[in-house]
Amino acid sequence: MQRYINKIKDFNELVMFEHSIFSLPFIFIAMIVAADGWFGYTLLVLGVFAAISARNFAMGLNRFADRDIDAQNPRTSSRPNVDGRLDAPSIIIFTLVNAFVFIGVAYIINPLAFYLSFPILLVLGSYSYFKRFSSLAHIVLGISLGLAPIAGVVAVLAEITPWSVMLSLGVIFWVAGFDLLYSLQDMEFDKQNNLYSVPSKYGSDATLLLSAFFHILTVVFWALFAWMAGLGLFAFFAVMLGAVMLSYEHYLVRKDFTKIDRAFFTVNGYLGIAFFILIVFDKVL
């Protein structure tokens, strides 16, 4: 029994399950706004399964593709995909199972969700290889998580609304911006291994500037989302709070690169949760 428990822990560490917090709030923000309130327990369960299986697929494929890179990087050399705890066939099976779960859940939700599930998986999987030939990998990661609001509104309305596109664009630049900051940790390693991150190709100053620009776009698109969706004061307060938290994130990183983990995980995690709570208040009050 303990063997299976340990294996579950290894897969949990492989995909960093706790980081699902980045995408889940924005799926449900879109669903709440689309439904003009509570969207039902059925869609709640299906939304959770869709989000988690999609992310597990993306992370599983990424860890499989990055085995050679992770093994050489001191920061990632203890991950289960390279230290022997999980072999390649196990990771492939895990990844495929999650892909089929995602497609199956999408099929249950509605036909449009089912049709979109295939290109979504293609986008999610492409990130794993982009950094080997293009600095656009940061944007691709942003698109991967930015699909979450689109998925949420499709689940409720079976269509893509203009305001959901604004919300999605905000998430895209939010994620790309903080991924730029996170990649500063591996700048020297990426240079040595000819990986196409923005820090390795253009340096830390350009990375900080581009990340700040992306986060300005984030706030603009989230404000447009609140306006186009006809939301109230709580939603606009969520946008302002997001701007303050993103500014604090940049303050932490610029002050000390050793604070990148704190900026990446803590600040961004709280941002998504706070945004979600305020949108709920907006719809309730």
Per DSSP, the residues of 26-74 read HHHHHHHHHHTS---HHHHHHHHHHHHHHHHHHHHHHHHHTHHHHHH-T
- Residues 94-122: pLDDT tens digits? 999 999 999 999 999 999 999 999 999 99
DSSP 175-208: HHHHHHHHGGGGHHHHHHTT---HHHHHHHHHHH
User: What six digits make up the tokens of 236?
Assistant: 């606009």
pLDDT of residue 122: 93
More confident residue, 18 or 44: 44
Q: 113-116: long-range contacts at Cβ-Cβ below 8 A with a sequence spacing of 24 or more?
A: 113/151, 113/154, 113/155, 113/158, 116/150, 116/151, 116/154
- Percent of the chain residues past pLDDT 70, beyond the cut: 91
- pTM across the whole model: 0.91
What domains sit in the chain, N to C, each tagged with a CATH number? 2-284 (1.10.357.140)
- Residues 4-42: pLDDT tens digits? 676 677 676 676 766 666 678 999 999 999 999 899 999
Element (H, E) at 34: helix 24-35
- Percent of the chain residues past pLDDT 90, beyond the cut: 53
d(CA 277, CA 167): 16
User: What six digits make up the tokens of 24?
Assistant: 């889940």
pLDDT of residue 134: 79
Please name the amino acid found at residue 275: F
d(CA 187, CA 190): 5
Average pLDDT rounded to a whole number, residues 192-207: 85
Select the highest-mean-pLDDT range: 23-32, 80-89, 261-270. 23-32
User: What six digits make up the tokens of 202?
Assistant: 């253009």
Residue 258 has pLDDT above 70, yes or no: no
d(CA 34, CA 26): 12
In whole angstroms, what separates CA 33 from the centre of its chain? 20
pLDDT band for position 157 (50/70/90)?
very high
Please name the amino acid found at residue 88: A
pLDDT of residue 7: 67
